[in-house]
Amino acid sequence: MSSPVNKMPTALRFASILFVIVWLTMAAFPFIWTFWGSFKVELDFFSISDWTNAITGKRTLETHGSPFTGAGYNGAWIEEGFLRNVINTFIVCFFVVCTSLTFGTLGGYALSRSGFRYTFWLLIAALIFRAMPPITLVAGYMLPFFEWNLWGILPTTIIVLVAINQPFTLWMLHSFFQNIPKELDESAKVDGCTQFQAFRHVIIPVMWPGVITTGLFSFLLAYNDFAVTSMLLSEGNRTMVPQIAAFLGTTYTEGNIMFAVAAVVSATAPLFVLVMFFQRQIVSGLTAGAVKG
């Protein structure tokens, strides 16, 4: 990259490095700060008198005899039974990802291989569905789910999240399938495979990167959802995010906001690990949609 285009004046170079540092601080500092603060008592994390208390943990030292305390985590995980919500989240995410990918690969493959007019309209319908805020559908679920006693349980939420995921999954997998040459399954069919056999034994093995990337985004959608899970799950079946929202309702009055802080840090950790291991797939997934338009 030594082309003259990239030679920058010193001032501009300096400004751009400064900007990157400012942006990195904006992006990372809130998480570091909250992580650090989650081991403190409330009077340190929200310190009125002196902000350095949040770093040194003066009040925490006074209360617990050490500048770090696991009291928030103890409160969230043991007293409030946050583990139950964590397990629920992972059950929901696991089934949402598996079902979404099964439905999505079949549908996305069909859309990329059928040249008929209706594939265009199906993709447009999916785009419209993708644009609708999920919460607008919830009012439509409530009454039927109550009437048929489906409300409040995990399977209902899973299938609803799968359906809400489908438009996005279809678009993404469709664009990945388009990149796989049609000759591949054509030759398999000429050799006597059925369409499904061609899909199963020829296309899927070369599709793994695309499937993993799409799976990551399905996971994020299910993991991050608040609108649907908070409305469709009963109190005992809550996943992490609605539970954190429920903590907020009670903690502002009861004064154990550190439970919520600890729960927030706990819920962030899996996402942190996810980005660490799958950074490349996330980036490629984001750009896959853009390049295809």
Touching another protein, residues 26-65 (CB under 8 A): 26-28, 30-31, 33-34, 37, 45-48, 51, 54
Q: 233 - beta bridge partners?
A: 152
| 234 in contact with another protein (CB under 8 A) | no
Q: Which of 98, 129, 150, 152 binds another protein (CB under 8 A)?
A: 129
Binding positions for another protein, 165-194, rule CB under 8 A: 166-167, 169-170, 182, 186, 189-190
Query: In one letter, which amino acid is 175?
Result: S
Size of interface with another protein, in residues (CB under 8 A): 112
**Radius of gyration of the chain from Cα atoms?**
24
| 274 in contact with another protein (CB under 8 A) | yes
Backbone angles phi and psi of 233, in degrees to 5: -110, 140
| 160 in contact with another protein (CB under 8 A) | yes
Please state the separation of Cα 52 from the chain's center in Å: 34
| 277 in contact with another protein (CB under 8 A) | no
**Dihedral in degrees, nearest 10, Cα atoms 174, 176, 179, 180:** -90
Helix H segments across the chain?
10-37, 42-45, 53-56, 58-64, 71-73, 82-113, 117-131, 135-147, 154-178, 182-190, 195-198, 204-224, 227-232, 240-254, 257-292
| 222 in contact with another protein (CB under 8 A) | no
Instruction: Give, as one character, the DSSP assignment of residue 200.
Output: I
Binding positions for another protein, 197-216, rule CB under 8 A: 199
Specify the residue, 65 or 248, whose C-beta has the smaller distance to another protein: 248
| 136 in contact with another protein (CB under 8 A) | yes
| 133 in contact with another protein (CB under 8 A) | yes
Taking the complex as a whole, how short is the minimal distance between the CB of residue 124 and another protein, in angstroms?
Answer: 7
Q: 152 - beta bridge partners?
A: 233
Specify the residue, 57 or 65, whose C-beta has the smaller distance to another protein: 57
Specify the residue, 83 or 132, whose C-beta has the smaller distance to another protein: 132
Taking the complex as a whole, how short is the minimal distance between the CB of residue 155 and another protein, in angstroms?
Answer: 13
Both tokens of 99, joined, read: 């079902």
d(Cα 34, Cα 208) in Å, to the nearest integer? 36
How far apart, in Å, are the Cα atoms of 117 and each of 114, 123, 137?
Answer: 9, 11, 28
**x/- map, 108-127, another protein, by CB under 8 A:** -xxx-xxxxx--x-x-xxxx
Taking the complex as a whole, how short is the minimal distance between the CB of residue 195 and another protein, in angstroms?
Answer: 5
Specify the residue, 69 or 156, whose C-beta has the smaller distance to another protein: 156
Binding positions for another protein, 80-109, rule CB under 8 A: 102-104, 106-107, 109
